[in-house]
């Protein structure tokens, strides 16, 4: 590849001011003696200038206000989600604590044998399983209810 | 320069201050930053998606994402690059969802070379700048593939360096250079098509 060909490849980037000082000097020196490259550089610089001077599109009226309103809405939704998470965590904790307390009390009252549908739920493992099913079912229902409430509140807004 | 035209020195320090507060974990500090970037960010998004309503929606989503990802924002990363890369990614996601096309793959049109010049000694853009300053250029810009519009908007309208463009687009510097070169050549072809006899202009 001769000098002219290698410089030709750099002319577009030179017009976009995207070359190093050294490369730019090479292009400019070559353009001084090569009418073809000089013309190419001039034309492409017109494009660069034209792009820099394009009329900027006008931002729609109220863009800022609408953006702030949306951010407020998002912040409120995030705060609500955090509150729901906290509520659910506390409920789950309370459920487990009350389940254990109830198990201890039930064992004390029933004398360690408390049959439900033929199964002795006074055994810790069975009781834990029962509690887990109850707690997670309740939590699942709570999540669905809270989410539906949030969705309908958002639709109203 | 566009940046200087849209952001005065006193507002830059105000923005720096707000960004510093944002970095310290105060999302509300962004309220002072949004007005400073509203025109540039909206313009960039409009160049990418070309629909005002969609550009506005993406503009709002960008700020929502900024707040959501505040904890992931690294202090060594330039806020501007981070902001524009979020906006860019949202626009790209939109294109992927809506059109199911690969955006990152450069557009290699198999078109035959177009007749560029209306007159042999005069480049079409000379006429554009003389008579319809910018309008044909803007229209031709709108016809380019999104990756070309992106690199041209960031380079010439936002005045970003090649390194900054690489940060925003998440591509190597060499790719930025080749994409910029191809985009300018492509733009020139499109302007030529519009101004040639039988063109769209």
H helix intervals, chain A: 3-15, 21-33, 35-52, 63-110, 124-156
Write down all domains in chain B, each with its CATH number in brackets.
9-195 (1.10.1740.10)
CA-based nearest distance A50→chain B, Å: 6
Does A13 lie at the interface with B, CB-CB under 8 angstroms? yes
Task: Report the pLDDT averaged over residues B155-166.
Answer: 93
Q: How far apart are CA B184 and CA B125, in angstroms?
A: 12
Q: Within an 8 Å CB–CB cutoff, is residue B56 touching chain A? A: yes
Matching residue, tokens 């995030």:
A78
Phi, psi (rounded to 5 degrees) for A115:
-90, 130
The interface predicted TM-score of the complex, written ipTM, equals 0.71
pLDDT in tens, A69-123: 888 888 888 888 888 888 888 887 887 788 788 877 877 777 777 777 777 777 7
Q: Does A12 contact B at CB distance below 8 Å?
A: yes
CA distance A84 to B143: 48
Identify whether the C-beta of residue B124 lies closer than 8 Å to the C-beta of residue B191: yes
Cα atoms in the Cβ-side hemisphere of radius 13 Å centred on B116:
13
* Stretch B122-128: mean pLDDT: 58
Q: Which of B6, B59, B116, B139 to mutate to test the interface with A (most CBs of A within 10 A)?
A: B59
| 8 Å CB contact of B177 and A13 | yes
Long-range CB pairs of A139-145 (<8 Å, 24+ gap) are A139/A88, A139/A91, A139/A92, A142/A88, A142/A91, A143/A84, A143/A88
Instruction: Work out the pLDDT band at B106, boundaries 50, 70, 90.
Output: very low
Residue B145: pLDDT band with limits 50, 70, 90: very high
Question: B122: helix, coil or strand?
Answer: strand
Contact: A54, B141; criterion CB under 8 Å:
yes
- This prediction's pTM: 0.69
Residue B57 pLDDT grade (very low, low, confident, very high; cuts 50, 70, 90): very high
State chain A's mean pLDDT as an integer.
Answer: 82
Q: What percent of chain B has pLDDT over 70?
A: 70
């Amino acid at each position: 590849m001769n000098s002219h060909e290698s410089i030709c490849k750099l002319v577009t980037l030179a017009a976009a001011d995207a070359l190093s000082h050294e490369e730019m000097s090479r292009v400019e020196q070559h353009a001084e003696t090569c009418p073809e490259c000089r013309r190419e550089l001039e034309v492409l610089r017109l494009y660069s200038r034209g792009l820099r001077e394009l009329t900027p599109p006008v931002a729609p009226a109220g863009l800022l206000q609408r953006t702030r309103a949306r951010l407020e809405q998002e912040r409120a939704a995030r705060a609500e989600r955090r509150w729901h998470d906290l509520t659910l965590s506390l409920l789950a904790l309370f459920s487990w604590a009350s389940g254990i307390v109830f198990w201890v009390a039930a064992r004390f009252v029933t004398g360690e044998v408390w049959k439900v549908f033929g199964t002795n739920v006074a055994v810790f493992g069975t009781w834990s399983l029962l509690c887990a099913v109850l707690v997670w079912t309740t939590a699942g229902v709570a999540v669905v209810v809270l989410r539906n409430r949030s969705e309908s509140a958002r639709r109203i807004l | 320069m566009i940046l200087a035209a849209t952001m005065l020195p006193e507002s830059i320090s105000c923005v720096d201050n707000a960004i510093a507060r944002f970095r310290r974990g105060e999302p509300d500090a962004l309220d002072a930053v949004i007005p400073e970037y509203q025109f540039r960010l909206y313009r960039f998004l409009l160049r990418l998606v070309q629909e005002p309503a969609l550009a506005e929606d993406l503009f709002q989503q960008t700020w929502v994402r900024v707040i959501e990802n505040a904890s992931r924002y690294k202090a060594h990363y330039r806020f501007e690059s981070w902001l524009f890369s979020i906006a860019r990614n949202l626009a790209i996601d939109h294109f992927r969802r809506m059109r199911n096309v690969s955006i990152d793959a450069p557009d290699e049109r198999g078109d035959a070379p177009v007749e560029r010049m209306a007159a042999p000694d005069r480049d079409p853009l000379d006429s554009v700048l003389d008579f319809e300053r910018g309008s044909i250029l803007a229209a031709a810009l709108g016809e380019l593939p999104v990756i070309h519009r992106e690199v041209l908007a960031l380079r010439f309208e936002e005045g970003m360096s090649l390194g900054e463009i690489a940060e925003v687009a998440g591509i190597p510097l060499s790719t930025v250079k080749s994409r910029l070169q191809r985009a300018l050549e492509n733009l020139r072809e499109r302007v030529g098509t519009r101004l040639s006899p039988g063109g769209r202009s």
